[in-house]
Structure 1
Amino acid sequence: MKEVKINCPLCNKSGKIEVDEEILENSQRGIAAINVQESLICDHSFVAYIDKNYNVRDSFVSDFKIDLPGIKIQKERRLNEFKHLDKMNLDSLLSEISAVELASILNGVFSKQNVL
């Protein structure tokens, strides 16, 4: 990790962020877009373009922000729904399904399609 000094494009407050060296080494064009989250330097969230020499080429504030849902809470809730299932029942169910049917079911589940 290497520290890079950066300024917020809105309020011009400066601070340092740590950039993983592998990100810049693996970038095809020699420049990496780094998302600077709010409260890291200031109250704003922005994107900074950093070159292989760790110089900030440009930075801008995005027009939109994506909020990720609480995935951990959803997973715990889903696990609680299936706690009543008995492992023996699951084994007997799997013994009745052919390999082709199981592959089709798993394909539908992982591609988020209706299985039934």
Structure 2
Amino acid sequence: MKRVKIHCPVCNTSGKIQVDESLLENNQKGITAVNIEESIICSHSFVTYIDKNYNVRDSFVSDFKIDLPDIKIQKERRLNEFKHLDKMNLDSLLSEISAVELASILNGVFSKQNVL
């Protein structure tokens, strides 16, 4: 992780963010857009463009904002529902599942589909 100094395009407040080096180095276009959320630098949300040399090329305030649901909390809640399954004996569990059901479960897991 490398620290990059950026400025808010609205209030000109400056601050440093940590940027994953592989994110910039593996970008084929040479410039990476980084979304700066509110409260990271100041009270504004904006996008900043950083090149492979860790120089800020430009920053701007977007015309719109997309709020994403907090998926992590939902996953943790769902994970807690099945926490007791950790204590189950794997052999006894596999003896209750037919080969066809096991193949279906593994197919769902490897194709990144919901199994539960």
Q: TM-score if structure 2 supplies the norm length?
A: 0.69
Residue among 106, 111, 114 paired with 2:113: 111
Alignment-mate amino acid for residue 31 of structure 1: I
1:84 and 1:67, CA in 2 relative to 1: closer, same or farther beyond 3 A? closer
Shift of 1:29: 1.0
What CA distance in whole angstroms lies between the structure 2 residues aligned with 1:12 and 1:85? 51
Q: Which one has a bigger Cα radius of gyration?
A: 1
1:7 pairs with 2:10: no
- Count of residue pairs the alignment pairs up: 111
What CA distance in whole angstroms lies between the structure 1 residues aligned with 2:10 and 2:101? 56
Shift of 1:5: 2.2
1:78 pairs with 2:81: yes
Shift of 1:28: 0.8
Alignment-mate amino acid for residue 16 of structure 2: K
Q: How does 1:27-46 map to 2 (within 5 A)?
A: 27-46=27-46
Q: Please state whether the residue corresponding to 2:47 is helix, strand or coil.
A: strand
Question: What runs of 5+ residues in structure 2 fail to find an aligned partner?
Answer: none
Give the aligned partner of residue 66 of structure 1: 68
1:86-106 deviations in Å (ceiling 9; x for gaps): 735x63452243333212133
How many percent identity over aligned positions? 60
